[in-house]
């Protein structure tokens, strides 16, 4: 994947290119955190996203990062959850002297982690999750590291937002295709009734609508059943929508 740099010489991650070149959002985020850890003093990183109002580690660079994230979920508190809930960066300078979040800091130090940096992942006007970086020495993250990692968090948010838009577009296409197929079946039934009863399209539609209401049957299902009875086979579906070449 091709990287670019801004005018200050900072590495710029081509989010659109990365997301389109990877088969899933998960793999995109994995590439992102692997690069982030490689460029800093972090020993590991986990990505927490809020799914149905519950935190979930979607990717991590190692087992230790995943254990630290899971410990916070079990406690219901911790630096990554605080970053997610408040939308603010949460640094921990030294786990041996940290008194917030109950037993989390002692647990982290028992795994050899002495400091951490949790950054919110912004998506539009809300926080989608957090990037959680862990280091084996105290006070490991400098101001320069923080600036660099905040850019990674921003890139993660951009990727998540783009993935959501692509997903929404796919959902809309499926809904539109379903509506087109329903309309096609209804039009076929209207045409059949017009031919049988020598009536107008409006009269045929009124008859179908009345029958649908009286039998408590969806209009599309009623029309599909009618066409199957007349032709001896289910109505032919419309060809799926395809983008123009």
pLDDT in tens, 104-131: 999 999 999 999 999 988 776 576 788 8
Is residue 184 predicted with pLDDT exceeding 90?
A: no
Please give the full DSSP string across 97-119, using - where no structure is assigned: G--TTTTHHHHHHHTT--EEEEE
Q: What is the pLDDT of residue 103?
A: 95
Q: Which CATH architecture fits 4-168?
A: 2-Layer Sandwich (3.30)
CA distance 13 to 33: 12
Q: What is the pLDDT of residue 4?
A: 45
CA distance 148 to 28: 18
For 174-231, give the CATH class. mainly alpha
Q: What is the pLDDT of residue 92?
A: 96
Q: Which residues contact 52 (CB under 8 A, 6 or more apart)?
A: none
Q: Could you tell me if 122 and 152 are in contact, meaning their C-beta atoms sit under 8 angstroms apart?
A: no
Q: What is the pLDDT of residue 127?
A: 67
Average pLDDT over residues 174-203: 80
Q: What is the pLDDT of residue 7?
A: 44
pLDDT tens-digit readout, 63-102: 999 999 999 999 999 999 999 999 999 999 999 999 999 9
Average pLDDT over residues 221-240: 70
pLDDT tens-digit readout, 139-174: 999 888 888 888 877 777 777 766 666 555 655 566
Domain ranges of the chain: 4-168, 174-231
Candidate from 23-37, 121-135, 230-244 with smallest mean pLDDT: 230-244
Q: What is the pLDDT of residue 69?
A: 93
DSSP 8-state code for residue 125 = T
């Amino acid at each position: 994947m091709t990287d670019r740099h801004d005018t200050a010489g900072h590495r710029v991650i081509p989010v659109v290119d990365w997301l389109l070149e990877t088969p899933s959002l998960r793999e995109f985020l994995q590439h992102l955190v692997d690069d982030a850890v490689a460029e800093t003093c972090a020993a590991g990183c986990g990505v927490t996203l809020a799914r149905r109002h519950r935190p979930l580690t979607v990717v991590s660079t190692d087992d230790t990062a995943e254990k630290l994230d899971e410990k916070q979920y079990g406690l219901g508190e911790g630096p990554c959850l605080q970053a997610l809930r408040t939308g603010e960066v949460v640094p921990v300078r030294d786990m041996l002297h940290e008194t917030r979040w109950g037993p989390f800091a002692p647990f982290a130090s028992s795994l050899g982690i002495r400091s951490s940096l949790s950054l919110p992942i912004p998506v539009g006007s809300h926080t989608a999750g957090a990037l959680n970086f862990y280091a084996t020495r105290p006070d490991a993250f400098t101001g320069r590291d923080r600036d660099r990692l905040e850019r990674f968090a921003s890139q993660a948010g951009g990727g998540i937002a783009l993935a959501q838009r692509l997903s929404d577009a796919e959902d809309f296409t499926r809904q539109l295709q379903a509506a087109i197929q329903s309309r096609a079946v209804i039009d076929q039934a209207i045409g059949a009734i017009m031919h049988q009863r020598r009536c107008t399209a409006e009269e045929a539609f009124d008859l179908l609508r009345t029958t649908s209401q009286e039998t408590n049957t969806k209009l599309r299902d009623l029309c599909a059943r009618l066409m199957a009875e007349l032709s001896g086979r289910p109505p032919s579906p419309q060809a799926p929508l395809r983008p123009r070449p």
